[in-house]
Structure 1
Amino acid sequence: MHGVIFRIAKVQALDVMAKLMKSTFHLIALLFLTLMPSAGFAEPVVIKTTPANTNYYPWIVQLSQSPIDWFESDVNAKIQGRAYRVVILLEDIYNSVFIEQVTFGTEGCCKKVSSVRRFDIKTFSEKFGFIGEISGFRFIRWLSPTSFIFLYKDLLFVMTAINEPEVKVEVYSGD
């Protein structure tokens, strides 16, 4: 008789433990999702860029140029094409990111930086819920002349509309 009662109690205890484990799993999953960067599940986040008056970068760690967008309308125009460059600097332990517009003349000659804007990496970090040092920004690859993939704190992002004063950033979801 004791054996039957013991088995029933054991089954009930296991059932209670299973329910507790299921609840615990749900709580852990919910906690994990709340700790993820908050903007990761939303629409693209708009980040303002500010004009920068610089033509010298002392600590470039990465520079990449987009594919050139050649103009076909006027073959005699002074400017024949345009590209963008992402310039990543390391100042002390923090990253700075600049977006440059580069123009080209006939047959690619006369390359010139026509504008430079600073990406507000601090605002980006805050909007996506990152804390700590503002470092670890790494260019990965171009998707188009005005969009690219980058890595920040082990998470991939896409930055689009880099030809505009306000860029759009969202978590990269794959090709």
Structure 2
Amino acid sequence: MRHLTLTFYFLSTFGLANGQTIELELKPIKKDYYAWITSLNEVPVNWLDNPEGEVKGRAYRTCITTSEIYNNLYIEEVTYGKEGCCKQIESKKEIDLLELFIKFGLTGEEANVESHKWVSMTNFELKIREQIFSITIQQNIATIKRTN
């Protein structure tokens, strides 16, 4: 009976981790440069029907940096002017990879993080150690779900 209980516990824990959805705060940052960018991936520009002053389009992009062996993940909102001119970073926010690793039970260093693909304007996939995570961004929250 004891073995059956332990087996059930581990199977249910594994099942919850696979289907688990978490929310993490997107933390604003003020960096004006990154020392070592290893990946920069941008969603296609959303051209605005009603421009906001000089801003004619908006897009999000992921920026993965590496320091020694550790990765950091930043989400940037960029704006475009007339005819795609004058691209500027509107805001920069960080997803705490340590917190993501802890909540999904990933062990080891925060490394081997890759931007997989953009699915929509505010949803992208991240690949961490051969596992795919779907991340939806809104305001100051990232909703993250392991998809495989």
TM range (shorter): 0.7 to 0.9
**Which runs of 4 or more aligned residues in structure 1 lie more than 6 Å from their structure 2 counterparts after TM superposition?**
26-29
Alignment of 1:30-69 (within 5 A): 30=8, 33=11, 36=14, 38-42=16-20, 44-69=21-46
Alignment of 1:56-95 (within 5 A): 56-74=33-51, 77-95=53-71
Alignment of 1:94-173 (within 5 A): 94-161=70-137, 163-172=138-147
Flag the structure with higher strand content.
2
Aligned letter for 2:142? Answer: V
Q: What SS class does the counterpart of residue 72 from structure 1 fall into?
A: strand
Aligned letter for 2:98? Answer: K
Change (3 A) 1:136 1:118: same
Contact kept in structure 2, 1:38 and 1:129, CA below 8 Å: no
| TM-score normalised by structure 2 residue count | 0.87
Aligned letter for 1:168? Answer: T
Q: Deviations over 1:88-107 (max 9, x none)?
A: 01111110011111001111
Give the drift of 1:37.
7.7
Q: Which has the higher contact order (CA 8 A, sep 6+)?
A: 2
Flag the structure with higher helix content.
1
Q: What SS class does the counterpart of residue 33 from structure 1 fall into?
A: helix
Give the drift of 1:80.
0.8
Give the drift of 1:36.
3.4
Mark the runs of 5 or more structure 1 residues left unpaired by the alignment.
1-23
Give the root-mean-square deviation of aligned CA atoms.
2.3
Mark the runs of 5 or more structure 2 residues left unpaired by the alignment.
none
Give the drift of 1:133.
1.0
Aligned residues: 146
In 2: Cα distance, 1:82 partner to 1:97 partner: 20
